[in-house]
A and B are shown apart, each in its own frame.
Chain A
Amino acid sequence: MFIRRQLLLVAGALAVAATVPHARAQEETVKIGLIVPMTGGQASTGRQIDNAIKLYMQQKGDTVAGKKIEIILRDDAAVPDNTKRMAQELIVNEKVNVIAGFGVTPAALAAAPLATQAKVPEIVMAAGTSIITERSPYIVRTSFTLAQSSTIIGDWAVKNGIKKVATLTSDYAPGNDALASFKEHFVAGGGEIVEEVKVPLANPDFAPFLQRMKDSKPDAMFVFVPAGQGGNFMKQYAERGLDKSGIKVIGPGDVMDDDLLNNMGDAALGAVTAHLYSAAHPSQINKEFVAAYKKAFNNRPGFMAVGGYDGIHLIYEALKKTGGDATGDKLIAAMKGMKWESPRGPISIDPETRDIVQNIYIRKVEKVDGELYNVEFATFEAVKDPGKTKK
């Protein structure tokens, strides 16, 4: 009995001793919980973000404002239940100062209440639905919103002699978002939607829908399909001879993601999309970014990589501003209104909505040095999220 009590005491003392240096170490490190899909259909999103963050930390070092930055990577496979569980675990057990990543909208939303409760900043690096930043005062976004690119392509289309458009969008939240914002701006500008088709998300064959597009004889077709289906879509578009009948493809740039573009083949040539980033963006800072990324990972960075790169940059800069103080409220206050030059161009964080303000570029797919690129030819400067400004 006596021995047991003594043992307990010893154990207790050990436990206390173990926690003390741990607590001290924590003051010196800032932990970032990175929750992204590394497996499953959205894996390329997670990989790009993870790569970009590794690259950034390689370039800028892993200490900022006297603090060591530690990334804890978790794979949620884009399942929101996982995201929530992992966010909770990271906040409670690992005591992370920031949670980041979030490949899809439902994942970002699942973590939002936790960010609010724990007062931990949630940096959204990928998901693109407007409402996300409204779900918690601790959410900051460094990716984009679909409304940003879809409204711009709508405006651009009207101004450039496209009068009749047929739309083909995948029937899920981002697709419907893209369609609604495009339609609003295109119709307001005097354009006409001659055909509207929503394609089921798990769609094996685009043939009948494309035939319908062809028969409605529009000037252009507005397309939004999940990134992975873009290639199939463009191939069938060319197979059906829509390219030859003069029907252009326009849309938000997700379809022409740099990650996949080069595998789509020449069918993609000439597609005009509006988006925040192209690997062919002609700035010095982007050239260096693309070169470094290619060298490190043997692949071209896409817009998801840029979202991650800017996300970690934002955390670094906010820490510099607070002098290493990683409390949630201080970090969020520091992030609001922050401006910097990203590989995608000049961007800032809107102090009111904590959402990203960025240039949207109109690009056309062209062949550069034997590879397909989105070549930018028009710029809409400092676009705020139209999904919110209209309220």
Chain B
Amino acid sequence: MTTLFTILFDGVAYGMLLFVLACGLAVTLGLMNFVNLAHGAFAMAGGYICAVLVNNSGWPFFAALPLAFVVSAAIGVVLERALYRHLYARSHLDQVLFSIGLVFMSVAAVDYIMGSSRVFIKLPAALEGQFDVFGVGIGRYRLMIIVICGLLTVALQLILARTRFGSRLRAAVDDPRAAIGLGINVPQVFAITFAFGCGLAGLGGALSAEILGLDPYFPLKFMIYFLIVVTVGGSSSITGPFLASLLLGIGDVAGKYYVPKMGPFVIYTIMIVILIWRPNGLFGRTAAR
């Protein structure tokens, strides 16, 4: 019985991690209708920034995390203004080709600068190991992930639902023309949203180095996972991808534990079943724009 809870705990931590990594993609794909396959590249950037700061410059881990967010977001702003902006109106195929090209460039660049071997982030001792709560093994690092990601999710939901920026964003998405007419600076709203999504990915990348491993192929390896989260969750809100991430995280961990031979197939099976049942994802709007 205690094992079940440990598995559940690990699954939730894994799912939360997937959510932080992928929710930026849900925003660009769902809210801005832009297929950004290069999303993982921003996550990788965050991971490497954190690794360099902690390992080479001696920053404390918790100070490096916000910086991973800030720098990834800054890279996001620059690329959005310089490159992405021009592709908003183009077809999805153009967007896919452009962003996959960006992925390959980022892989090659990081390989060249940082080398191809895996990078580890030196963690503070307080985050290492596991402790027992009524016999349930709780990993400290995973607990931290759950706390950080949980807080982020609540904050995101509040920003989207309660703040003026949130309502502007929703307006800009629902009907850009009317939004412009009402005096909302739509390109600016999109740029900020995009940067925020990139920052989240960067933070996710920094957090995931310990669990998923960080190497130059990160954006390619995890692209599938991000896409699964977004397709299963539906891309019209934050709740959808959040629940999808949890479902996939728990499904993946439990599947690998209980039926290790089938392990890698479990999440794909879940995805297929859900998509047959609800082609637009769990919380997708039927007949999107």
Contacts and interface: CB of A to CB of B under 8 A. Distances in A.
A208 B261 contact: no
Contact of B10 (A197, A198, A211): A211
A386 to B, nearest CB: 27
Contacts of A232: 118, 120, 211, 213
B212 A205 contact: yes
A215 B10 CA distance: 15
Interface string B248-280: 000011111100110110000000000000000
Contact of B253 (A208, A239, A263): A208
A209 B260 contact: yes
B3 A211 contact: yes
A160 B103 CA distance: 49
A239 B139 contact: yes
Contact of B263 (A40, A208, A265): A208
B117 A228 contact: yes
A238 B210 CA distance: 12
A212 interface: yes
Interface stretch (B71-79, B149-157, B194-202, B215-223): B215-223
A208 B10 contact: yes
A211 B116 contact: no
Given A204-B211, A208-B257, A231-B120, A240 B222 contact: no
Given A197-B260, A198-B260, A239-B139, A208 B7 contact: yes
Interface in A63-87: none
Contacts of A198: 260-261
Q: Taking chain B's interface residues, is the majority helix, strand, or loop, or is none over half, making it mixed? A: helix
Nearest to A267: B128
Given A197-B260, A208-B257, A260 B117 contact: yes
Contacts of B116: 39-41, 43-44
Contacts of A205: 14, 211-212, 252-253
A39 B137 CA distance: 40
Q: Which of B3, B140, B213, B222 has the most CB of A within 10 A?
A: B213
Contacts of B3: 211, 215
Given A212-B257, A229-B213, A241 B118 contact: no
Interface residues of B, number: 38
Nearest to A234: B120
A235 interface: yes
Contacts of A265: 120, 122
A39 B253 contact: no
Contact of B210 (A39, A44, A228, A235): A235
B130 A241 contact: yes
Contact of A231 (B118, B139, B264): B118
Interface string A257-268: 001100111000
Contacts of A44: 115-117
B225 interface: yes
B129 interface: yes
Contacts of B260: 197-198, 208-209, 212
A202 interface: yes
A241 B254 CA distance: 19
Contacts of A207: 10, 14, 211, 253
Contacts of B128: 238-239
Of all A-B residue pairs in the complex, the 4 with the closest CB atoms, nearest first, are: A208-B256, A208-B257, A43-B116, A200-B264
12 contacts: A43-B117, A200-B264, A205-B212, A205-B252, A207-B211, A208-B252, A208-B253, A209-B257, A211-B10, A228-B215, A232-B120, A235-B210
Given A44-B115, A204-B211, A228-B213, 13 more contacts: A43-B111, A198-B260, A198-B261, A207-B211, A208-B252, A208-B254, A228-B118, A232-B118, A235-B210, A238-B128, A240-B137, A260-B118, A265-B122
